[in-house]
Amino acid sequence: MIFLTHSTSNYSSLGIFSSLVKSRVFYPKRCFFLFFILFSLTAQAEVGPNKQYFLVKDLTQDWLVYDQREKEYVPYVTEQHNTQLSINTIVDIESNRHYELLIYVEKNNYLFLNSSLKQNLKGGQWYVMSIDSLYKVYRRPQLMLTLYGTPGQVGKTILIGHKKAAIEKLITIEEESFLNLLPKEDARISNFFILGMLFLLSFAAFLFNGYPRAFERLYSLPDLFQVDVRDESFLINKPFSRVNLLFVVLLCFELGYLYIFTQDKQYNLFSSKELILSGQSLFDTWVDYVKVVFLCLGLMLAKYVGLYILGTLYNLEGVANIHFFKILQSSLLFYSSLLLLAALTSFYIVDWTVLVRSMLLIPGVIFYVLRIILIFFTISRSTTVKSLYLISYLCIVELIPLIIGVRYAL
């Protein structure tokens, strides 16, 4: 049998059509009903200016108005709200990307998006907006669309449509066959993770060959738990040396990779989803990655400045260098192990949505608590400062940031 593809809202009608065809008996009434269905499908599916779009969703029945008494938005009721000059609807732009937003008003109205004036709409005209462009500008899963001007909902149409192709092709399906609807695989993020892992391994190999002594010490587990630290080491007394900065950059590369990993697994870490552009190309993903890396690098440098200032205020001479070295050493060991674990388990775990917290965040919290304890004993063995001052110092530079981070991460 031969039929034209239309929007998903017509699936029930297609089921009736299929049952009529399979019956193999066509009476005059049944034939008339069959042609009526075909005509209605074609008429209802084509919307927008010059009928150039297939209907995806009709938002005309989803109007909301703001109730002053309830202090919230309530569904539009014609009998109660037909005098309202401002009516609203929620547009899910994240789930409807690659489609267009179609707006039509019979009389002049003002268009607001998220309470900001967007455009003055002239009556009797269609307005088409790309939902992809709206998503990149607002970076939110949903938009509040408001029409202000004429009262009520009469003469106001909001649709989500898909532009028709230049040439429509007929789809021929043999009887007793079926369609395999397989979504196109998003190779962009997979390619990034593969290339990103190769890049990290190459950078680590460069550091291992170029600075073997520093690499062996920073990735030494026994040295990590050594509380009697020799501050004459070049890794400690020169925190901004070229060697140290290269290992700080490696740590930032790893943190950026893990951040993109959690975002791809639909976990909005630190409620920072707006930081990611969510572009459609591999280049956009690399741009997001570089942004996160530079942000981590700035935070690491700010961390040392904060350690130095507070160490001076508490008369903890030389503590900032030892503290920063232990942070760098422990972080490299932990995040490198976490990165390799996530990369290996990705081959066996398909759905990470419910496992991101248990496999990445909870071990991270445990690591930071143990690191605070380790730094406390290391600094107490290296200086003669009172324990009360040291505890107060660590609470400011380690414990308070940990509590704030857990609050927004979980």
- Residue 376: predicted pLDDT: 87
pLDDT digits (tens, 9 = 90+) for 220-253: 998 888 877 765 566 677 778 889 899 999 999 9
- Residue 201: predicted pLDDT: 93
In the 3-class helix/strand/coil scheme, how is 44-101 assigned residue by residue?
HHEECHHHCEEEEEECCCCCEEEECCCCEEEECCHHHHCCCCEEEEEEECCCCCCCEE
- Residue 18: predicted pLDDT: 46
Low-confidence ranges of the chain (pLDDT < 50): 1-29, 31-44, 167, 170-185
The set of residues, in sequence order, having a beta carbon less than 8 Å from that of 400 and lying 6+ positions away, is: none
pLDDT digits (tens, 9 = 90+) for 83-135: 888 899 999 888 888 889 999 999 999 999 887 888 889 998 899 998 888 88
- Residue 314: predicted pLDDT: 76
- Residue 153: predicted pLDDT: 85
- Residue 58: predicted pLDDT: 87
